[in-house]
């Protein structure tokens, strides 16, 4: 997931919508036992810089797929494909 924008969450479309006026939305992850708060893509892209920290080969594989194109299965893909806000990526095996 990215922020708390989980794949398959009912609120994912609202969180990724660039027309979203809210900076924070409630998200119910499909596999977590409780709701979370997440910044929306609109709010995140207004930051001066974004940082992505990933660990392990499984997350690296998701990162590589997400770099190819925007895909709802990998919300991070919407941030990797954008050119507005600098994004630094840190990976540890």
pLDDT tens, position by position, 41-93: 999 999 999 999 999 999 999 999 999 999 999 999 999 999 999 999 999 98
Q: What is the pLDDT of residue 11?
A: 96
Q: pTM of the full predicted structure? A: 0.91
pLDDT over threshold 80, residue 1: no
Q: What is the pLDDT of residue 91?
A: 94
Query: What ranges do the domains of the chain cover?
Result: 12-92
DSSP sequence for the chain: -BTTB-TT-TTHHHHH-TT---SEEEE--SSSSS-EEEE-HHHHHTSS-EEEEEESHHHHHHHHHHTTS-BTTBTTHHHHS-SSS-EEEEEE-
In this prediction, residues 7-16 reach a mean pLDDT of 96
């Amino acid at each position: 997931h990215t922020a708390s924008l989980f794949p398959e969450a009912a609120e994912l479309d609202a969180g990724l919508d660039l027309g979203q006026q809210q900076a924070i939305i409630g998200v119910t992850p499909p596999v977590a036992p409780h709701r979370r708060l997440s910044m929306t893509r609109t709010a995140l892209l207004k930051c001066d810089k974004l940082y992505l920290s990933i660990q392990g080969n499984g997350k690296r594989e998701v990162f590589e797929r997400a770099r190819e194109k925007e895909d709802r299965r990998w919300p991070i893909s919407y941030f990797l494909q954008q050119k507005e806000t600098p994004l630094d990526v840190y990976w540890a095996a």
